[in-house]
Amino acid sequence: MLGGTITVPDPLPTPSQDAENLRKAFKGWGTDEKAIISILGHRNADQRLKIRQTYHDSYEESLIDSLKSELSGDFGKAVILWALYPPERDAKLASEALRKKGVKHVAVIVEIACASSPHHLIAVRQAYCSLFNCSLEEDITLYVAQPLRKLLLALVSSYRYDREVVDENIANLEADKLHDAIKKRQLDREDVIWILSTRNKTQLKATFNSYKQVYVKPIDQEIKECGDSDFLSLLQTAVWCIETPENHFAEVIRSSIVGIGTDEDSLTRAIVTRAEIDMLKIKEAYYKENKGSLVDAVIGDTSGDYKDFLLTLLGEGKL
Amino acid sequence: MLGGTITVPDPLPTPSQDAENLRKAFKGWGTDEKAIISILGHRNADQRLKIRQTYHDSYEESLIDSLKSELSGDFGKAVILWALYPPERDAKLASEALRKKGVKHVAVIVEIACASSPHHLIAVRQAYCSLFNCSLEEDITLYVAQPLRKLLLALVSSYRYDREVVDENIANLEADKLHDAIKKRQLDREDVIWILSTRNKTQLKATFNSYKQVYVKPIDQEIKECGDSDFLSLLQTAVWCIETPENHFAEVIRSSIVGIGTDEDSLTRAIVTRAEIDMLKIKEAYYKENKGSLVDAVIGDTSGDYKDFLLTLLGEGKL
């Protein structure tokens, strides 16, 4: 749980005890939401998976189905998303995003492809096949038009080298290539997509750094200044998710809260998917950017069990 | 070992016994090649991996290094290839193929991408990163020019759905698309590459079947008649490896043997990589196509320990 914010009790109850207590929380007079939060909100992904398996073995019913029948609204959606095993959860998020269409939604797929480990991305593709009887790539082609399609296909098919290796020559060369594409307004070029979808992340950070050294402006700003299209917006998201996922998710949370009404789906997604990964850094990034605490923002914009659950995932510490 | 030809003794010696006997075979007066063949030639991939681990723990030396220092020539190369764990073996084959260049060599990458399970292909990509400090996709781009590059990149990045699901409408539609591309001599089109690299294999077989129903000639023949280029040759290999890998490998073996001199690298590769997968079917395909037995052909073209080792992998039964 490097950089995560959830906390796990010590000593940890056994999966059987957890399953039994969850069953009790469902079966009493009314549902005991507090108990559900205090159990599931304090277990990591592997622990939750074991609870699901034990629950299924003991009661011959899926825990997810029980949660669905007992909980509702944003609270229910958040708990169910959290109860799923991360690859399965992201496969479902990807499938929903594709069916909703719209660039804001398919950006979820860029998050999964660019802000996860290569291993996790493969696990998501496997889960997608198991759940939906076709590959993620097939559904992307079915639901997304060009040029977004080719960007998404390349990003989800990537299997980046997972160590911190940088070739400075490549960084300089590819910064030049990216600049050439920006200058000519040809950002859907094969070489641009190949660089962003194939190079390892440390290498790409060096390339973006070289870009800024040579061409003064950061590459994400340059992409923004190329114009206002869905493709450019997705490309920017990809750059952010690769370079500083904490800034990207801090921004997802901010924009889900700002203005009239809250975008609960985005808020839930950002907190549920990152609570075990880098939420500490996201809290810091949020504070730096907004001069206020992420926790306070969530408190101000949510209520009831939904609020309690999100705050549980956000852990101790106000920052 | 569905369709494989290797045999494993029952009862099976423990990995420690095997490691000890291999050590004895290396350490005596001269190397005992027969003993090496009788041990390694009769163990499946997981068993060989355990022997390697046990050998390393016992003698603080890698089994592969011992084999390299004790064995030589085509026999040595074949045994070492066989001793490697399949994903590691295929990663090495891919890396060598890229460094040699030439369409005949890069066809090895098409074999790995199209005639393996999606799970194996991912394992090869992982092994490639571990062994060579960069991704297979990065090396393909470094060593292979367009349009071969984009075909190879798409094929190795695929993660096909792994169950037997066919949509007949899609089969008909995509047979038409493929025919359109063939008619217009535009086989490097995005949609052609996407279909071949993304659809599941059962679906593709239905598509090729629909092609033959509607347009009379089989698609591989139509591709051949489009002309004589490296790209068309690779595309044909991809179609074969998807539709009937047994015919493809029977042909690899035949052409490695036919004429003056033997192409030992190809012969070794075909037998070592398929002995645990579908060598029974390859033998049948060979017999059907050449009116003679594959085993007899190997006997006629090889000799010594190399011959004995290949025959061990080819198992009992002359066919």
Question: Is residue A211, in this structure, part of any structural domain at all?
Answer: yes
The reply to whether B262 touches chain A by the CB within 8 Å rule is no
Indicate the Cα dihedral angle A173, A167, A122, A51, nearest 10°: -130
Of the residues B101, B127, B157, which one is the last residue of a structural domain? B157
Per DSSP, B217 falls in state S
Quote the pLDDT of residue A2.
Answer: 60
What average pLDDT does range A107-121 have in this prediction?
Answer: 96
Contact B161 A138 (CB under 8 A): yes
Q: Tell me, yes or no, whether A10 lies in a domain.
A: no
Question: Hey, are the CB atoms on A161 and B126 less than 8 Å from each other?
Answer: no
pLDDT tens per residue, range B68-85: 999 999 999 999 999 999
Q: Residues A217-251: pLDDT tens digits?
A: 999 999 999 999 999 999 999 999 999 999 999 99
Q: Is the pLDDT of residue B136 over 90?
A: yes
What mean pLDDT do residues B252-266 have? 90
Contacts of B153 in chain A (CB under 8 A): 194
Q: What CATH number corresponds to the domain at position B299? A: 1.10.220.10
* pLDDT at B1 (0 to 100): 43
Chain centre distance of CA A268: 10
* Residue B217 pLDDT > 60: yes
Residues of A in contact with B200 (CB under 8 A): 134-135
Q: Does B207 touch chain A (CB under 8 A)?
A: no
Tell me the C-alpha distance between A79 and A81, whole Å: 5
Residue pair B157/A158 in contact by the 8 Å Cβ criterion? yes
Query: From CA A118, how far away is CA A112, in angstroms rounded?
Result: 10
B78, B268 Cβ separation under 8 angstroms: yes
DSSP state of A13: P
The reply to whether B202 touches chain A by the CB within 8 Å rule is: no
Question: Scanning every residue of chain B, which has its alpha carbon at the shortest distance from the alpha carbon of A127?
Answer: B161
Task: Name every chain A residue with its beta carbon within 8 A of the beta carbon of B163.
Answer: 129, 133
Please provide the size of chain A in residues.
319
Q: Could you tell me where the DSSP H helices lie in B60-117?
A: 63-70, 73-83, 86-100, 103-114
**8 Å CB contact of B138 and A162:** no
Domain membership flag for residue A298: yes
Q: What is the mean pLDDT of residues A155-163?
A: 92
B255 touches chain A (CB under 8 A): no
Chain A nearest-CA distance from B198, in A, is 7
Q: What is the CA radius of gyration of chain A?
A: 21
Same domain for B253 and B230? Answer: no
Cis? peptide before A245, omega within 30° of 0:
no
Nearest to B197 by CA among B153, B262, B135: B153
Give me the domain span that covers residue B186. Answer: 168-243
What CA–CA distance (Å, rounded) separates A176 from B242? 39
Region B267-293 average pLDDT = 96
ipTM computed for the complex: 0.83
> What is the spatial distance between Cα A136 and Cα A18, in angstroms, rounded to a whole number?
34
Specify if A216 maps to a domain. Answer: yes
Which residue among A125, A137, A194 sits closest to B141, beta carbon to beta carbon? A194
Minimum CA–CA partner of B134 in chain A: A161
> Which residue, among B278, B296, B275, has the nearest Cα to B7 in the 3D structure?
B275
Q: Is the pLDDT of residue B27 over 70?
A: yes
**Number of independent structural domains in chain B:** 4
Same domain, A102 and A152: yes
B319 touches chain A (CB under 8 A): no
Mean pLDDT within A288-296: 94
Contact between chains at B194 and A141 (C-beta distance less than 8 A): yes
Whether residue A224 is found in the same domain as residue A282: no
In B, minimum Cα distance to A165 occurs at B133
pLDDT digits (tens, 9 = 90+) for A57-79: 999 999 999 999 999 999 999 99
Q: Are B151 and B241 in contact (CB under 8 A)?
A: no
Name the pTM for this structure: 0.89
Whether residues B104 and B134 fall in one domain: yes
Assign B318 a pLDDT band (cuts: 50, 70, 90): low
pLDDT confidence of residue A319: 67
Task: Give the pLDDT of residue B316.
Answer: 76
Interchain pair B159, A162: CB under 8 A: no
Q: Which of B219, B243, B267 is the last residue of a domain?
A: B243
Residue A279, domain member (yes or no): yes
Instruction: Give yes or no: residues A35 and A91 share one domain.
Output: no
Is residue A34 in some structural domain? yes
Q: Do B129 and A161 touch (CB under 8 A)?
A: yes
Q: Verify that B213 and B263 share a domain, yes or no.
A: no
Q: Please indicate, yes or no, whether residues B230 and B185 belong to a single structural domain of this protein.
A: yes
Contact predicate B1/B276, CB 8 Å? yes
Chain-chain contact of A125 with B158 (C-beta, under 8 angstroms): no
Contact flag A133-B158 (C-beta cutoff 8 Å): no
The verdict on A92 and A152 lying in the same domain is yes
Chain A from 124 to 183: CB within 8 A of any B CB? 125-126, 129, 133-138, 141, 150, 153, 157-163, 165
> B319 pLDDT exceeds 90?
no
Residue B155, min C-alpha distance to chain A (Å): 10
B203 and B225 assigned to the same domain: yes
- End position of a domain, from candidates B157, B181, B205: B157
Find the mean pLDDT for residues A172-181: 97
**Min CA distance, A157 vs chain B (Å)?**
5
Instruction: Classify residue B116: in a domain, yes or no.
Output: yes
- Identify whether B79 is part of a domain: no
- Same structural domain for residues B211 and B273? no
Look at A157 and B160 and tell me if their CB atoms are within 8 Å.
Answer: no
The mean of the pLDDT values for chain B is 94
Q: Is B198 exposed, middle or buried (0-12, 13-18, 19+ CB in 10 A)?
A: buried
Q: pLDDT-derived band of residue A172, with 50, 70 and 90 as boundaries?
A: very high
* Pair A90, A24 in one domain: no
Judge whether residue A161 has pLDDT over 60: yes
